[in-house]
Amino acid sequence: MEQEIKKWKKLMLIHKFALDEVNTKLQILNEEFQHIHQYNPIEHIKSRLKNQEGIVRKLERKGHAVTPENARRHVHDIAGVRITCSFTSDIYRVVQMIQHQRDIQVVILKDYIKNAKPNGYQSLHLIVEIPVFLAASTEKTLVEIQIRTVAMDFWASLEHKLFYKFEKEIPQALGRELKSAAETMKVLDEKMEAIKREMDFVKQGGTFL
């Protein structure tokens, strides 16, 4: 039992270190764009470490035995980062910046912007692997990164609240309203993207017709 507790503690500590590493890299990129470049694609960065109770629930949902080994193997979002951007094109720019980091390997990319979920959910998810250097070993550890526009994040926050308020069974009428709101959100993001293109065009010396 004591050995198992130590394994869980090590699991959580390694994922905390991995989260710290990713946060540091993102913060450096964020400050670089703020102080050196004329435009910063990153609006906000939030991070969280899933607690052991949440890990256990996810393992049980997936039908796996509750062990630290299975948590490491099957739960990819123990460490999570959410990046919020102003424009959809910024999301893909941030993805490129992450892919160019030498010691970050993108393991999984799920694009729910080009292919939204049936309920209307939109976001871009990355599962990345990053080395954590300990005194006696190097542990390659997974971190989930979600990248969204402000509008996508607002919608996802509302959907999350409803999901738990109604115990994971959102009433059909509310589900339809959410889907409609997601379509409106997509139109808004497209309009904002069009404004950004016009702004960039003017900055480069163009004029409005």
The letter for the amino acid at 10 is K
Q: List the catalytic residue out of 4, 32, 144, 183.
A: 144
CA 24/CA 126 separation, integer angstroms: 17
- Which amino acid, 200? D
Which H, E and C letters describe the chain, residue by residue? CHHHHHHHHHHHHHHHHHHHHHHHHHHHHHHHHHHCCCCCCEEEEEEEECCHHHHHHHHHHHCCCCCHHHHHHHCCCCEEEEEEECCHHHHHHHHHHHHCCCCCEEEEEEECCCCCCCCCCCCEEEEEEEEEECCCCEEEEEEEEEEEEHHHHHHHHHHHHHHHHCCCCCCHHHHHHHHHHHHHHHHHHHHHHHHHHHHHHHHCCCCCC
Amino acid at residue number 109: L
Is 177 annotated as catalytic? no
Confirm if 21 and 28 have CB atoms less than 8 A apart.
no
Q: Which residues are catalytic?
A: 144
